[in-house]
Structure 1
Amino acid sequence: MIADTLTGARPTQTTRREEIKVVVGASVGTVLEWYDFFLYGSLAIFFSSHFFPAGSATAGYLASLATFGVGFVIRPLGAVLFGRFGDKAGRKATFLVTIIVMGTSTAGIGALPSFQAIGWASPVLLVSLRMLQGLALGGEYGGAATYIAEHSRADRRGFTTGFLQTTATLGFLLSLGVTLVCKAFVSTEDFASWGWRLPFLSSLILLAISTYIRTKLSESPVFAKMKAEHRLSASPLKDSFLVWQNVRSMLVVLFGAQAAVGLIWYTCNFYTLYFLTTTLKVPTGQAYGFVVVMLVFSLPLYVMFGWLSDKIGRKWIILTGCGLAVLTFLPIYTNLSKAVNPALVAFQQTVPIRLAANNCSSGLFSTPVSACDRARDYLTQAGLSYQVEAGAQDGTLVTHFGNLAIGGFEPTAYKKALTVAGYPVSMDIKRVNRPLMFGLIAMLMIWGAMAYGPMSAYYVELFPAKIRYTSISVPYNIGAAVFGGLAPFMSTAIAVKTGNVYYGLWYAIIVGGIAVLIGAIFMRETRGRDVAE
C-alpha cells in the first residue's frame, strides 16, 4: 500500500508499482469519458438527420455540432459541482460518480428515439444527455490530474501526468476504432439507419470495466493527510473565487494556457478528421484509417513532452506548441488539400465559383428557402469554395462556374454544370501523396502534444492542495467549453458563411494567437513546486 499518509509521509514515497497502478486506474476511466464525448462528434454526420427536422444537410450537421458544443458549455457547471465535491469528500468518490453519469448518458444516446418517432422530444432529450455528459466530463479531468500528481515525485510529475494527457487521444482513437469495427459488420445503409447506435451502446461494457478498476483505487495521499490534519477547505468555492492570488491564477489559465491549448488540440486532432471527410471527400473508412495511424503516432509524444517539462519547465513547451500551431495552420491545411485531393484543388484553381444574388439569408440552422441558400448548401456539401456577390435587381440567382453561367438553382443543372466544368465527383485514393499527407498531419499532432502534454502537471502545481480540484476544474472546463468545444462549430460555420473552406481556421489562429500572447506575459513557471501544500 501507499506509505502511511496519516503520519505525515509525502507522496514522494510512492513506489514505482503503486505509481503505475495510480496512473492506469485514473487514466482508464478518463479514456472512457473522452471516448463517450468524442463518439458524438465522430458520428454526428451519420445521425444528424435522425434527431433534427428534415431539410438542409448542412443545417442538420451544424445543429449536431452545436449540440456537441452544448456538452462543452455545460462543463463549467460540472467543474463547480464535482470540484467542490472532490475537495471536500475526496478524489476517489468523485471518480466513481462522474464515470457512471458519463457512461449511462452515452448509452442513452444510442437508445434515443428519432425525430420521426417522437418529434421535438428527440432533440430535447439529445441535448439533455449531452448536458449530462458535459457535467460528468467537467468533474473528471481536474480530479484525474490531481490524483496522479499527488502520488508522484516532483521530478517525475510531468512524466506521470503525461500519460493522463494521452487519454483524450486514446478516447478519440477508441471511438474511431469501435466505429470502424461496427462498420465492418454492418452495411453502409444499415449503419446510416441504425448501426451508428452500436458504438454508443457499447460504452456500457467499457463502463463496467472502468468502474471496477476505479473501485480498487485508494484515496490520494495528499487529501488523506489534509483530512487527518483537519486542513480541508470548509468552502472550496469561496476559497477559490474570493482569494485574489487564486483568482489571478485561474484567469491566466483560462485566457492564456487553456484558451490556447483547447483550440490548438481540437484543431490539430478533431478538425483534421472533419476536413478529410467533409471538405476533401476522402471515404470515411480511409479517412478514419489515416487519422488512426497518426493518433497512434502521437501517443508517446504526450509522455515525452511531459517528461521534457520535468527537465526544462512547463510554460515554454506549452506556449511553443501553441505558437507553432497558430503560425502553421493555414499552410498545413492548404497543402493537405493538395496532398489528399489534388484534382479538387486543381478544379477550384481553374474554375472559380461565384454566386450573384441579393437574397442569401444569414441563418445557419434554418432550412434553405431561397435559391441562393440552397446553392450554398449544395456547394458546401460538395467541398467547394465560392464567392457571393451582388446580383440582379430582380433577385434572380446566377451561378458562375468559371465561364459557365446557370440561372436559378436546380440540383440536376448544378451537377451537370460541375461535370462539364471538370469537377471530380469522387476523389481518387490512389492519387493521395501519402508521405506528404502523413508528414503534415504529423506536424499537427506534434504541436498538439507539445501544448497538451505538460498541462496536468502545470495545473496541479499552480493551485493549493485544499482547493486544487475546484481551482483546476473551473478554468480548465470554461476554457475547453468556450474556446475548444465550440471550435468545430465555429470553424464550420465561418467556412459556410464566407464560402471559403479554409477561413474556418481563422477562429483558432486569431483567438489562439491572443491566448499565446497572454500566456507569454502572465503565465508563471511551476516546475518542482510542492503539491502537498
Structure 2
Amino acid sequence: MSFQSITAASQSHDLDRDTKRIVFAAALGTVFEWYDFFIYGSLAVLFSTLFFPKGNETAALLAALATFGAGFVLRPFGAVVFGRLGDLVGRKKTFLVTMLVMGFATVAVGFLPTFESIGWAAPILLVCLRLLQGLAVGGEFGGAVTYVAEHADVERRGFTTSWIQITATFGLFLSLIVIVLCRASMSAEDFANWGWRIPFIGSIVLLLLSLYIRLKLQESPIFQEMKAQGKGSKNPIADTFADGRNLRHVLVAIFGAVAGQAVIWYTGHFYSLYFMTTTLRMSQDQASFYLLTALALGTPFFLFFGWLSDKVGRKWIVVTGCALSALLIIPLFQGLASYGNPALAQFRSKTSVVLTGNGCRQDQSFVGQLFRPKAATHCQTVKALLTAHAVPYTINTDAEPLRIQINDDAPKTFDDAALLAALTEKGMPPANTPAQPNGPMVVAVLFALIFLATMVYGPLGALLVELFPVRIRYSGVSVALQLGNGWIGGFAPFVATAVVIATGDIFGGLWYTVAFAGLTAVIGAFLLPETRGRDLSN
C-alpha cells in the first residue's frame, strides 16, 4: 500500500471542521503526555550512568530499564482512579487533571540531582516521578480515545480514533527529535552533564499550549445525554469488575487485543532502539536517525488501518497483525543485527564461548543484578563484558575457578583484558570501532516492525470504545489498555534485556514478545467480538 493510497483513503474520510478541532485538541494533549512519558525511555541508556552506581554497567542498564517499566506499574491504578472520575464527572475535566499531573512530574525530572550528588535518593526520586507519570498516562489515553469516539461519525469511527492511536508514536518521534537537536547543539560532555535536562524542563511549553486548547473543548454529547437521563453508573469500577459480563469484556480486551499490541509496539519502538545502541553498538545519533526515518514512513499506516477497519471490521486486522508479529519479530531482529553491524554479525556467526564455573548460575538472578553496585563475582564481570560486546555464550557449572572456552580452544582462566584480546584475535570488532550499518536495510527492518505495530494499534481505539457500555466506558477502556500496556507491554524492554544477560542469546528476550503476540492472536480469533458499527449511546 503506497503513501498515495493512504492519502486517498484519508481524503475519502475527510472530517468536518468541528470533528477536526476535537481530534486536534485531544490528540495534542495526548502527544504531550506521551512525549513526557517517553523522553525518559529515549534517554534510558544515559540515565543508567547518571542515576545508578558505577561499577556494573549491565546492572545499571537493567535498573534504568526497570525504572522505565516503573512508569507502567501505576498505569492500571491511574486507569481505575481517573476512569472512575471520567465516568462520574466527565471526560474533559478528567483528562485536564491527568495532563497537569504529567506536566509536573516531567518538569521535576529535569531538576533532579544525580546519583553522584545525593546517592540512592536520586533513583528513588526518579522512580517516584516515573510512578506519577504512569498514574497520569493511565487515565489520559482512555479518556482521549473515548472522547473522540463519542464525537465521531459511526461510519468513520475507526479512522477518527486512529488519530489518537498515532499520538504515542508522535510522542516518541518528538522526544527523539528534541534529543537529537540538543545533542547537535552541544558537546557530548555538556549533554551528559546538563543538556539532558532541557527536554524535560522545556516540556512546560507544550503543557501550557495543550491546556489552553483543551480548555476550549465541550463535554462529550453522549456523556451529557447519559447524565441527563440518569443512566450513569454510581460506581463505575465496581460495575466494571463485579459485573460478570463487563469483567469478561475487560479480560477479552486485554488478552485478545491489548497484550499483543503492547508487546509489539514497545518491542518495535523502544527495544529496537536499545538493541541498536547497546547490542549493535551504533551511536545514539545513528540509531535515532534510522528509527525517526522508519517512524516517518510507518506512521501513516495507523490511519490506513483505522480507515480499513471502518470497511472490513476491527477484529481480524488486529488478530492478523498479532499473528504476523509472532512469526516475524525474531527474523526481523536477526536482520537488524546483520544489517546494523555486519562485522559483528560475522564474528558472532563463527564464535561461541562457554563459561564453566560454580558461581555462574546464581549470578543470573535479575533482582540481584538490579541492586548490586559492583560486580560481585568474576563470572558476573565476564558475563557483563560479553553482553556489552554482543558475544554469545553458554554456561556450565562444573568447575571452580571460572574457565572460559572460545570456539574449540582449550578452556582457560582469563582476566578482562586478556579475554578482550582473545576475542579481538578471533575477529570481534574493537569497542572503539564504529558500526558500519547498511542504512537503507536497517530502515527497512525498522519500518517492518513499525508497520506491524500500526496494523494492531490503528483499529484498537475504536474496538475498545465499542466494546464497553457508555456508563463504564472510560473505566473499561482505560483499565483494559493500561493493564495490557502497563503490566505486559511496558516491561518488554526490561524482560528482553534481562533474558539476554542471563542466557547470552541476544535474541532470547524476544520470545516474550512472540509468546504474548501469539497468545493474543489465538484468544482474539476465538473470543474477541467484531464491534464495528455499534451504537455508542448504549
Normalised by the length of structure 2, the TM-score is 0.93
1:519 maps onto 2:524 in alignment: yes
Contact 2:41 2:68 (8 Å CA) reproduced: yes
Cα deviation 1:480-516 (Å, max 9, x = unaligned): 1121011010010011101110101011111221122
1:382 maps onto 2:389 in alignment: yes
1:224 maps onto 2:224 in alignment: yes
Counterpart mapping for 1:23-102 below 5 A: 23-102=23-102
Contact 1:396 1:407 (8 Å CA) reproduced: no
- Measured after TM superposition, the shift of residue 386 of structure 1 is 1.3
- Aligned pair in 2 of structure 1 residues 61, 245: CA closer, same or farther (>3 Å)? same
Distance 2:432 2:52 in 1: 29
Distance 1:332 1:123 in 2: 34
Q: Which runs of 5+ in 1 are unaligned?
A: 1-13
Contact 2:87 2:236 (8 Å CA) reproduced: yes
Match of 2:404, SS? strand
Partner of 1:7: none
The alignment yields a C-alpha RMSD, in angstroms, of 1.7
1:164 maps onto 2:164 in alignment: yes
Q: State the AA in 2 paired with 1:51.
A: F
- Measured after TM superposition, the shift of residue 58 of structure 1 is 0.8
Range that drifts further, 427-436 or 313-322: 427-436
Partner of 2:5: none
Partner of 2:215: 215
- Aligned pair in 2 of structure 1 residues 419, 406: CA closer, same or farther (>3 Å)? farther
Partner of 2:420: 415
Counterpart mapping for 1:423-462 below 5 A: 423-425=428-430, 431-462=436-467
Contact 2:36 2:106 (8 Å CA) reproduced: yes
Contact 2:173 2:295 (8 Å CA) reproduced: yes
- Measured after TM superposition, the shift of residue 351 of structure 1 is 2.2
Distance 2:154 2:505 in 1: 48
How many correspondences in the alignment?
518
1:369 maps onto 2:376 in alignment: yes
Cα deviation 1:373-425 (Å, max 9, x = unaligned): 00001111112221112342xx1122223355674453322222222222112
Distance 2:228 2:142 in 1: 22
Contact 1:282 1:427 (8 Å CA) reproduced: no
Range that drifts further, 506-515 or 133-142: 506-515
- Measured after TM superposition, the shift of residue 309 of structure 1 is 0.1
Partner of 1:202: 202
Match of 2:39, SS? helix
Range that drifts further, 435-444 or 504-513: 435-444
Range that drifts further, 403-412 or 445-454: 403-412
Partner of 1:491: 496
Contact 1:404 1:417 (8 Å CA) reproduced: no
Cα deviation 1:231-262 (Å, max 9, x = unaligned): 22211112212211111111101122111111
Contact 1:391 1:398 (8 Å CA) reproduced: no
1:500 maps onto 2:505 in alignment: yes
Cα deviation 1:418-461 (Å, max 9, x = unaligned): 22222112587785333332222221111110000000000111
Range that drifts further, 184-193 or 124-133: 184-193
Match of 1:269, SS? helix
Counterpart mapping for 1:333-344 below 5 A: 333-344=333-344
Q: State the AA in 2 paired with 1:400.
A: Q
Q: State the AA in 2 paired with 1:375.
A: V
Cα deviation 1:452-473 (Å, max 9, x = unaligned): 0000000111111111000111
- Aligned pair in 2 of structure 1 residues 155, 419: CA closer, same or farther (>3 Å)? same
Distance 1:172 1:15 in 2: 26
Distance 1:428 1:225 in 2: 65
- Measured after TM superposition, the shift of residue 224 of structure 1 is 1.5
Distance 2:476 2:288 in 1: 36
1:312 maps onto 2:312 in alignment: yes
Contact 2:282 2:435 (8 Å CA) reproduced: no
Match of 1:359, SS? coil
Contact 1:371 1:408 (8 Å CA) reproduced: no
* Equivalent of residue 480 in structure 1, options 473, 482, 485: 485
Partner of 2:11: none
Match of 2:355, SS? strand
Distance 2:229 2:269 in 1: 44
Q: State the AA in 1 paired with 2:439.
A: R
Cα deviation 1:160-198 (Å, max 9, x = unaligned): 001111001000101101000110112112222222222
Distance 1:390 1:236 in 2: 54
1:237 maps onto 2:237 in alignment: yes
- Measured after TM superposition, the shift of residue 298 of structure 1 is 1.4
Partner of 1:529: 534
- Measured after TM superposition, the shift of residue 159 of structure 1 is 0.4
Distance 1:436 1:532 in 2: 48
Contact 1:372 1:409 (8 Å CA) reproduced: no
1:465 maps onto 2:474 in alignment: no
Partner of 1:149: 149
Q: State the AA in 1 paired with 2:185.
A: F
Contact 1:158 1:456 (8 Å CA) reproduced: yes
Normalised by the length of structure 1, the TM-score is 0.94
Distance 1:471 1:146 in 2: 10
Match of 2:110, SS? helix
% identical aligned pairs = 47
Distance 2:389 2:189 in 1: 20
Contact 1:352 1:401 (8 Å CA) reproduced: yes
Match of 1:355, SS? strand
Cα deviation 1:59-112 (Å, max 9, x = unaligned): 011011111111111111100100010111111111111011111101111111
Distance 2:416 2:187 in 1: 27
Q: State the AA in 1 paired with 2:180.
A: L
Distance 1:471 1:511 in 2: 21
